[in-house]
Amino acid sequence: MKLARRYAILGALATVGSSFVSADNINPSKAFSIRCSNLPKSFQPDQKTTVLLAEFLPKGSTIINPSSLPECAITNTTILADICRLRLNVTTSSTSSTVMEAWMPADWSVKGRRFLMTGNGGLAGCIGFDDLNYYTSLGFATAGHNNGHEGNTGLPFYNRPEVLKDYVFRALLTATHVGKKAATHLYQQVVKNSYYIGCSTGGRQGLKAAQDFPEEFDGIIAGAPAHNWNNLMSAFAYYWKYVANQQNPLVMTADQWVAWRDEVIHQCDTIDGVADLVIEDPRKCRPRPEARLCAPGQTWNSNKCFTSYQVTFLRKLYEPFYGNNGTWLYPGFAPGDETITSFWIQAAPPQLPIDWYRYAVLSDPNWTIEKDFDLDTADYNNAVDAFNISTYKDLSKLKASGHKLIQYHGLADGSLTYEGSDLYYESNVRRLGLPSAQMDKFYRYFPISGLSHCATGKGAWFIGAANQFFNSPASPAGITGFDPAGGVVMSMVKWVEEGIAPETILGRGVGADGKATSTKDHCKYPKKSTYVGGDASKRTSWRCL
């Protein structure tokens, strides 16, 4: 019945475009595959778009690594649905272009005719293939782009403002237009609803869309957004240079970071009434490093204690970063995932802000944090504000558009502090003059306990979100088999298409075998997940209060 219907649609469509082969005498899968491989000839939407590749990939096949750069690679990925894979080069200016892919599943027409654009991470530069693969299995025509340059460094921005402009917003906007056209062309049906999902830089891209071009997406999902981008870059430089005062020897060894992370969890885990290694509300957690100060005569080797210098450092880790004249620029790091935090301040200076300052802000490849970073540099970065990368406008355009935004952020994010998301939400309450009950009509924010930066964590971190699908012990292939209902994407679909707005987002802890180890209904801000008794790994043992 289902197959017959799909056959009928494809058969009817085959007569629409002259370049399509008649599907009268072939099976639907074959017809779809032929339509797909005809795309280089049939899909020429404009002068700026070139088809690089079009191929039908059946479910279960594997994809040849499409990027020459290891940081953009996907390894040994098994395709989860019958798809048409379309790779395009889209010119964005006389000196810039973006490479994008649209993965279009064969069962699109019967699965809601939805389009989904995905985001990027860090300074990338990489198509999110794992996200494309997973969301096509849910029936979305899913697109991704390389944000105007291939790879995860800032070098492509050097004296190339158009490439930087792509990175800030234009590649996303352009790829969205072309992606929708590709879906409409392949299926010969208009897209019914259009969505966006991204985390980290992808979260910033989502908020950029919500602030500046909300008309493109019926539903936008922005995870762990790097929206306070300029000050985030300065913060990484600041904590490395001034707080860690990263000289020789290292302020903390790797062992000491682990011990400190465990100490923080020890101090804060049971504030929520449950010893489960998850700090349910880190806003209530004020770590006290003094608890581990060495007494006279004690050392790390003898007593696993910290020096006075280290204790002072650890205390400052959680304090905000203030610029010139005491201007608040960035919240401190969040407690609970300090081994991740250490990545930014341990050993070599962090490459992300170095690349940003060298190639995007100052055009000086010799710039270093050690020699050149200070609070005036941070001011300068804000004054330049490359192509308005500070993504801090209010959501009045989104509100006027009638479209929806879901923001989420891991409360155990040791890289990009959840507090930035709290503050963005509250700033909208004030600037739009709307209490939460009214904000709820178009903007909902879900803090996710036990979620690190975008993926993994000790809590019910898996919510079916961007960047959560990759093969590793923390994210085994089995997670693609979880029922997507209640996760962040299908909750957004329900909100947009049925008008049923999510009060909670379902999360799962994930075991090494890919099975769920816990479930939790993560609460809509400002409600808090509160333990009410019973097995703490079950969603029924918690309430949103």
Ligand X SMILES: *[C@@H]1O[C@H](CO)[C@@H](O)[C@H](O)[C@H]1NC(C)=O
Decide whether 33 or 96 has the Cβ nearer to ligand X: 96
**DSSP structure class, residue 496:** H
- Angle at the Cα of 375 (from 242 to 200), degrees rounded to 5? 80
Residue 101 or 218 having the CB closest to ligand X: 101
Q: 77 or 504, CB closer to ligand X?
A: 77
Q: Closest distance between ligand X and the C-beta of residue 76, in Å? A: 4
Which of 268, 266, 312, 269 minimizes the C-alpha distance to 289?
312
Among 33, 49, 97, 120, which residue sits at the site for ligand X (rule: CB under 6 A)? 97
SS3 223: strand
Answer yes or no whether residue 159 interacts with ligand X by CB under 6 A: no
Kindly state the smallest distance separating residue 416's Cβ from ligand X, in Å.
23
Sign of CA dihedral 241, 243, 244, 245: positive
The answer to the question of residue 394 lying near ligand X (CB under 6 A) is no
Q: For residues 313-332, which are near ligand X according to CB under 6 A?
A: 324-325
Q: How many CB atoms lie within 10 A of CB 64?
A: 7
Position 93 contacts ligand X (CB under 6 A): no
Residue of 109, 91, 138 whose CA lies nearest to 35: 109
Using the rule CB under 6 A, is 91 a contact of ligand X?
Answer: yes
The nearest distance, CB 281 to ligand X, in angstroms, is 34
Q: Concatenated DSSP letters for 92-150? A: EETTEEEEEEEEEETTTGGGT-EEEEE---TT-B---HHHHHHHHHTT-EEEEE-TTSS
Using CB under 6 A as the binding rule, whether residue 366 contacts ligand X is answered as yes
Order of all β-strands in the sheet with 193-199:
49-57, 83-93, 96-105, 141-145, 114-118, 193-199, 219-223, 404-410, 443-448
531 in contact with ligand X (CB under 6 A): no
| Distance (Å) of CA 155 to CA 145, 192, 354, 358, 449 | 18, 39, 10, 8, 36
Q: How many CB atoms lie within 10 A of CB 179?
A: 29
Active site residue 200: yes
Which position among 39, 99, 141, 186 is part of the footprint of ligand X (CB under 6 A)?
A: 99
Contacts of 440 by beta carbon, 8 Å cutoff, 6+ apart: 501, 524
The residue among 194 and 230 lying less far from ligand X, judged by its C-beta, is 230
Query: Out of 380, 387, 392, 531, which residue is the one contacting ligand X (CB under 6 A)?
Result: 387
Q: Does 211 bind ligand X (CB under 6 A)?
A: no
Among 60, 320, 365, 473, binds ligand X (CB under 6 A): 365
Smaller CB distance to ligand X: residue 343 or 387?
387
Our answer to whether residue 535 is catalytic in this structure is no
Residue found by looking up tokens 């940081």 in the block: 71
For every residue of 155-180, DSSP letters joined together read GGGTT-HHHHHIIIIIHHHHHHHHHH
Residue number, 300 or 367, with CB nearest to ligand X: 367
Residue 78 engages ligand X in binding (rule: CB under 6 A) = no
**95 is a site residue for ligand X (CB under 6 A):** no
Task: Identify the active-site residue in 413, 449, 452, 521.
Answer: 413
Q: Is there binding between residue 62 and ligand X (CB under 6 A)?
A: no
Q: How far apart are CA 490 and CA 481, in angstroms?
A: 14
**How far apart are alpha carbons 515 and 135 in whole angstroms?**
20
**Residue 164 phi, psi (nearest 5):** -65, -40
Cα–Cα nearest to 373, from 350, 389, 342: 350
Select the span of 138-146, 233-241, 343-351, 359-367 touching ligand X (CB under 6 A).
Answer: 359-367
Give dist(CA 525, CA 522) in Å, integer: 9
# of chain residues touching ligand X (CB under 6 A): 15
413 in active site: yes
183-191, 235-243, 363-371, 426-434 -> range binding ligand X (CB under 6 A): 363-371
Q: Which one is catalytic: 96, 200, 415, 421?
A: 200
Largest CA distance in the chain: 87
**Is 97 or 421 the residue whose CB approaches ligand X more closely?**
97
Region binding ligand X by CB under 6 A among candidate stretches 1-9, 271-279, 358-366, 409-417: 358-366
Q: How far apart are CA 445 and CA 526, in angstroms?
A: 8
Nearest distance, CB of residue 387 and ligand X, angstroms:
5
When the beta carbons of 1 and 383 are compared against ligand X, the nearer one is 383
CB-wise, 52 or 347, nearer to ligand X? 52
- Interface map 267-306 toward ligand X (x if CB under 6 A): ----------------------------------------
Q: In angstroms, what is the minimal distance from the CB of 446 to ligand X?
A: 29
Q: Is 63 in the site for ligand X (CB under 6 A)?
A: no
Is 379 near ligand X (CB under 6 A)? yes
Where does 269-350 have alpha helices with state H? 300-303, 308-317, 338-345
| CB 160, CB 241: distance < 8 Å | no
The residue range among 105-113, 349-357, 362-370, 400-408 that interacts with ligand X, by the rule CB under 6 A, is: 362-370
How far apart CA 233 and CA 321 sit, in angstroms, is 12
Catalytic one among 166, 453, 475, 529?
453
Active site residues: 200, 413, 453
Residues that bind ligand X (CB under 6 A): 52, 75-76, 89, 91, 97, 99, 324-325, 364-366, 379, 387-388
